[in-house]
Amino acid sequence: MRGLLYLCCWLVVSGEIYAQLPESRIINGTVASVSDTKHLVSIRLKKNDRNFGSGHICGGSLIGPNKVLTAAHCLFNTSKKRYRKAKEFVVVMGTLNRYERNTGTIVSDVSSIAYMNTFTTDSMRDDVGVMFLRTGLPVNSTHPTVAPIQLATEPTPSGVTCQVAGWGRTEQLSNLSPIIAHLVKNTLSNVLLTANVTTVRHATCATIYSGSLLPGMLCAGRLRGGTDSCQGDSGGPLVYEGRVIGVVSWGYGCAEPGLPGVYADVQYYRQWIEERNGSSALTAPSLKHLLALSLGCAVWLWSKRK
């Protein structure tokens, strides 16, 4: 009986730990190629990555020598209701197998993060974030397995085939209870997987998800089901014609018929993404608010001198 009690306690604790992390999976994917995924990064919690590869929680896209695009919810600690600190993360680039560290692998601490203060886990509004790396690519250099990807500059047509990639579960676990699903977390893929999905008309997706589809969101998947990204491929890129057009954000289930995945629309947020740099990677208040505050202080000091 005591052994059963210990087991139940372990299950509860395990559930609480894993519930903090986005679940990660590509359903019905194939092994990715290096040439097509040089921009893919593995975002990890440093404290969980002592066994190299085991700390993976989200994907991301290298969009500059030291700049990574991901989802805001990847930066958020749901159990503590706060954003994580930059020092809690480590980012790994240049390897298809998340457990392998070779000569082409780049491992970097994170110097700062940026996100929009309007993001909430309730609505998933503005689910975009940026990370700045301490160790990135040298400017104007080439690397055999790592390269930035460009951002979308205009809306993507509906009905086109795109690619989504991530490290994650290779099967649908929605029919299992949450605790059992957590126990089979070892079904995460060791290697980077990719899958083809199709962009869905905004009007169609808005009908499917009713009021949950907000400005800045786009949908992609297969309406017949079977192939999809899911929460924990979270932060990873949706790519069309060599540009990242979406960031894996949310959905109801995974690869379910009639329920496409929802992505943050990169072209919608492009100006915000491009304006973030290492010095402006502020969480709260924003840089604009700090400048206004500084101006107000300067005016106040000037008035005191009169």
Q: Please list the active-site residues.
A: 73, 127, 234
Query: What contacts 278, CB < 8 A, 6 or more positions away?
Result: 66, 111, 112, 132
Q: Quick one: tokens of 286?
A: 């924003």
For residue 116, CA distances in Å to 66, 85, 129, 171, 247 come to: 20, 15, 7, 33, 15
Name the nearest CA neighbour of 156 among 210, 201, 213, 223.
201
Name the nearest CA neighbour of 114 among 152, 92, 147, 86.
86
Query: What contacts 185, CB < 8 A, 6 or more positions away?
Result: 18
For residue 279, CA distances in Å to 84, 106, 301 come to: 18, 23, 26
Query: What contacts 240, CB < 8 A, 6 or more positions away?
Result: 152, 156, 160, 161, 162, 163, 199
Residue with tokens 């397995």: 145
DSSP tag of 76: E
